[in-house]
Amino acid sequence: MQNSSKIATLEYAKDQDKKDPLQRFRAEFNLPTDANGKPKIYLCGNSLGLQPKLAQTYVQQELDDWAKLGVDGHTDAQNPWKPYHEFLSESMAKIVGAKASEVVMMNTLTVNLHLMMVSFYQPTSTRYKIIIESDAFPSDKYAVKSQLEFHGFNAEEALLEWTPREGEELCRYEDLEKLLKDNKGEVALLMLGNTNYYTGQKYPIKEITELGHAHNAIVGFDLAHGAGNIQPNLHENQVDFAVWCSYKYLNSGPGSVGGCFVHEKHANNKNLKRFAGWWGHNKDTRFNMRKEFDPIPGAEGWQLSNPPILSMAAIRASLEIFEKAGFENIRKKSEKLTGYLESLIENLGNNKIEIITPKNPADRGCQLSLKVKGADKKLFNQLSEAGVIADWREPNVIRVAPAPLYNSFEDVYEMVERLKKLLA
Ligand SMILES: *Cc1c(COP(=O)(O)O)cnc(C)c1O
């Protein structure tokens, strides 16, 4: 344990930055500034990641090739558009612990979630229930409920919620076990977030997947807050499918194309029902246009349309930075940086705020959720006025997410200093 007064100094924070092997990557991002051109304290990468400077170059490259080549860009652009999505798969796969063939960038998160459920939620009259965490992101809940209703089930009855116990904020694994036992033989799908957008709790992916499979259920994860933040090891952990967006920790721009993982064990199963489109068809015969649908083995076989290249160019820029930094190093720094934030907040010893995110670094990503006593949003508003960009989630949480690629120990120190003044 560090001496608590020593770590709460600017000198200490600056020294940590000097020792940080990833420090140089901060300069590769555009940091939002205040009216005087001074960088704000940006701790909101959980909502929208910052822009890699390289994104401008890469998007411009595609605009230039489009201007110069028109339709010939599909084959003759510097980075040909026809196979463009393939340029992303390998780097993306490393970040989520998958094989390149198990990963594809396509559509957006909620669309991919629906496409995955079309294939992996195949209910019968006896096995039809879906488990979701009670505090799931609204879009996930809407998607799951509408799938249940689409198949003719009553969502009130068929949607099981994994809920924190009375007076607690976090979900307990034992309660998920119990939910499965109490509904033995009836659960078709576990569809859980990871990491939870509200509490920052990371659920144990390996254990949950084994548990679900032991009950003959399919297990899928929404990694909106996981991809680029924690290492889900999707392949090794035998997860059936996963979906995520690229604009949060993956820094690929607002509304940018999402990601999708389908485990290798499902890659060649042509009997899996799916909603099909031409981009998922065998590449050798795709342009014959007359053939019966012949899906590409692996995640690519779930593609529908030819992809938006401008969005993919921004993703390519971002993934290149991840590749250079190395995801293991990013995760290592993340644990330190968030641990520092936690220590500084605990040092304040102020009972107006309470960290509800798990204490164990293995059970969380970079985000800490600060519960504000009395649900006082004023504190958050004042923090914003003081030049800190975080966000507020109803009813009473300030989410603070130091992103290891561009946030510094000094950012974290400064944020807590400003918070301290407001609490005084
Ligand atoms: C951000 C987020 C979404 C957003 O979905 P889009 O389809 O990308 O708009 C969905 N689910 C979770 C858990 C999220 O965190």
2 pLDDT exceeds 80?
Answer: no
Binding-site residues, ligand 1, Cβ < 6 A: 108-110, 137, 139-140, 193, 197, 222, 224-225, 245
421 pLDDT exceeds 60?
Answer: yes
> Chain-centre distance of CA 7, in angstroms?
30
pLDDT value, residue 375? 79
The β-bridge partners of 161 are: 132
Work out which ligand 1 atom sits closest to the CA atom of 110.
Answer: 7
Question: What is the per-residue pLDDT across 165-194, written as a single tens digit (0 to 9) for each?
Answer: 999 999 999 999 999 999 999 999 999 998
Q: Are 49 and 248 in contact (CB under 8 A)?
A: yes
**Mean pLDDT rounded to a whole number for the chain:** 96
Confidence of residue 199 (pLDDT cuts 50, 70, 90): very high
Question: What is the per-residue pLDDT across 344-385, written as a single tens digit (0 to 9) for each?
Answer: 999 999 999 999 999 999 999 999 999 999 878 999 999 999
pLDDT value, residue 329? 98
Tokens 């170059």 map to which residue?
57
Give me ligand 1 centre to Cα 234, in Å.
Answer: 19
Q: Are 273 and 120 in contact (CB under 8 A)?
A: no
Confidence of residue 3 (pLDDT cuts 50, 70, 90): low
pLDDT value, residue 159? 98
Give me ligand 1 centre to Cα 422, in Å.
Answer: 32
What domains sit in the chain, N to C, each tagged with a CATH number? 4-30+326-423 (3.90.1150.10), 60-323 (3.40.640.10)
From atom 15 of ligand 1, which residue's Cα is the shortest distance away?
Answer: 224
pLDDT value, residue 196? 93
286 pLDDT exceeds 90?
Answer: no
Tokens 């644990």 map to which residue?
335
Confidence of residue 1 (pLDDT cuts 50, 70, 90): very low
Work out which ligand 1 atom sits closest to the CA atom of 109.
Answer: 7
Question: What is the per-residue pLDDT across 234-251, written as a single tens digit (0 to 9) for each?
Answer: 999 999 999 999 999 999
Ligand-binding site membership of 246 (annotated) = no
